Structure 1
Amino acid sequence: MSETSYRTALVTGASSGLGRGLALWLAKQGLRVFATGRRLSQLDALAAEARAAGATVEPVEMDVTDEARTRARLQQLDDECGGLDLIVANAGVGGPTHAKRMEWERVSAIIDTNVTGACATLCAVLPRMVERGRGHLVGISSLAGQRGLAGHAAYSASKAFLSTFLESLRVDLSGTGVHVTCVYPGFVKSEMTAKNRFPMPFLMETEDAVERMGRAIFRAQSEVRFPWQLAAPMRLVKVLPNPLFDAAARRLK
């Protein structure tokens, strides 16, 4: 799919952070963007900002953890707009889930959003995309999904699941006209990272991260990792023998 063939896009988790930035960026490229989230007032503010820039963002109040309603709503929007060209599963939550202080409620909340919600989003109109012979699915994973980070078992695992899920989709969809892109951000300024109480090396501005994501999506790259200063060592960490990784990870707790 070329840059000019994108007409419509849907971005989940667009109330703030990367989702908000990407929804606005896509709208400024001329796409009709459906921005979904649970906080309608923030989505309305995003739509107003887009209108001021001559772009179109349509707010859609939606909670991806309600997977049945998520799939039904995306199918409805797909019908109304004549087919969604681009779907970005961005909605995500984080938080510590340390094995010595494990709280099931927090683990469940992370899985419900980052795994079930993301998959419901990506699968909702996938059969229709295949039938149309065009479309693009994007999932926002994380460099934190490369290994099981200390104190963040649920978050790391949820992002590892998403990246593997997208990889299988990419292989299966080869030759169908439906593209798949997995985004692996490092630390990006957002409401979620603002809560972190640990060092965040190479923390990126939201606008910089959004620009990299947008360009990679329009080029239909299979994956994009940033910033390189963190992405490169994380590739090495992935192949470290367990004893070396465990020792290093314990020091970072």
Structure 2
Amino acid sequence: MKQMHYGTALVTGASSGLGRGLALWLARRGTRVFAAARRQEHLDALAQEARAAGATLEPVKMDVAQADATVERIRQLDADCGGLDLVVANAGVGGATPGKQFPWEFTKQMIDINVTGAVATLGAVLPQMVERGRGHLVGISSLAAFRGLPTRAAYSASKIFLSSFMESLRVDLRGSGVRVTCIYPGWVKSEITAKNTFPMPFLMETEEAVERMGNAILRGEPVYAFPWQMTRFMKLLHALPNPLFDALMSRRR
């Protein structure tokens, strides 16, 4: 499959983890990358690393939880650069939201970032992309979207929402010239997973995960899930009858 090239790209959640890696990966391939996140000092360090590699990466301080401000900022970037070719909604948070001690404040924060923030990011310049007849929207979901996991009600639900949102967009935008990709990573080393105290099967190095994601985006894959071992396992869980799934997950919890 022929790989695409992008003149401009926006990547959110670029101060660490997959977002940081993907922003640098794209910049090193000649894309002018707008790297967006809340932590300015992390973005400045990323821009310096990109410059050392002869790449163009511009820091953009942005909090996607502030949805209206996010839409306004992205529209301004789109106008200033002559049109964004690629928008990657990567910013997200994870963590436990157990039903018996349901933490409302954390749940709201997760929804504001993972759901509302992602939609604001992807939808900000979608009409402009359709008008131009080109563009690529990428949403970073999770294998946790394949089934509601114990103690992860808010996280699984937020990723299920994003997956369904991307699927509907993919159907709606067929023939418009605007591509849609949904990516489902498994366990990847990051600031988020470093806090986990439970086993993480097939935990992947960030660099390998970024390479896989970047190539899937350039190929224009509509859906890409990895690693294959965890993907197969989650698909099996998805196919289980509810009583069997509930019993299995209760023991896992």
TM-score range, shorter chain: over 0.9
- Structure-2 separation of matches of 1:9 and 1:192: 24
1:138-153 aligned at under 5 Å gives the runs 138-153=138-153
- Once the two structures are superposed, residues 96-115 of structure 1 have per-residue CA deviations (whole angstroms, 9 ceiling, x without a partner) of 00000101101101100000
Specify the alignment match of 1:124 in structure 2. Answer: 124
Specify the alignment match of 2:29 in structure 1. Answer: 29
Give the counterpart letter for 1:126 in structure 2: L
- Structure-2 separation of matches of 1:250 and 1:97: 15
- Once the two structures are superposed, residues 172-196 of structure 1 have per-residue CA deviations (whole angstroms, 9 ceiling, x without a partner) of 0000000000000000000000011
- Structure-1 separation of matches of 2:66 and 2:74: 12
Q: Does 1:251 align with 2:243?
A: no
Specify the alignment match of 2:229 in structure 1. Answer: 229
- Once the two structures are superposed, residues 190-219 of structure 1 have per-residue CA deviations (whole angstroms, 9 ceiling, x without a partner) of 000001111110000000000000000000
> After the TM superposition, which segments of 4 or more aligned residues of structure 1 sit over 6 Å from their partners?
none
- Once the two structures are superposed, residues 126-158 of structure 1 have per-residue CA deviations (whole angstroms, 9 ceiling, x without a partner) of 000000000000000000111110001000000
The 8 Å contact of residues 5 and 218 in structure 2, kept in 1 or not, is answered as: no
- Structure-1 separation of matches of 2:195 and 2:5: 39
- Structure-2 separation of matches of 1:249 and 1:4: 41
- Structure-2 separation of matches of 1:4 and 1:228: 24
Give the counterpart letter for 1:230 in structure 2: M
- Structure-1 separation of matches of 2:107 and 2:198: 20
Specify the alignment match of 1:86 in structure 2. Answer: 86
Give the counterpart letter for 2:190 in structure 1: S
- Structure-2 separation of matches of 1:252 and 1:184: 22
Specify the alignment match of 2:7 in structure 1. Answer: 7
Specify the alignment match of 2:240 in structure 1. Answer: 240
C-alpha RMSD over aligned residues = 1.1
The 8 Å contact of residues 9 and 31 in structure 2, kept in 1 or not, is answered as: yes
TM-score normalised by the chain length of structure 2: 0.98
Deviation at 1:239, TM superposition (A): 1.2
- Once the two structures are superposed, residues 10-50 of structure 1 have per-residue CA deviations (whole angstroms, 9 ceiling, x without a partner) of 00000000000000000011000000000000000000000
Query: Which consecutive residues of structure 1, in runs of 5 or more, have no partner in the other structure?
Result: none
Deviation at 1:5, TM superposition (A): 4.1
Specify the alignment match of 2:219 in structure 1. Answer: 219
- Structure-1 separation of matches of 2:44 and 2:159: 29
Query: Which consecutive residues of structure 2, in runs of 5 or more, have no partner in the other structure?
Result: none
The 8 Å contact of residues 96 and 151 in structure 2, kept in 1 or not, is answered as: yes
- Structure-2 separation of matches of 1:12 and 1:63: 9
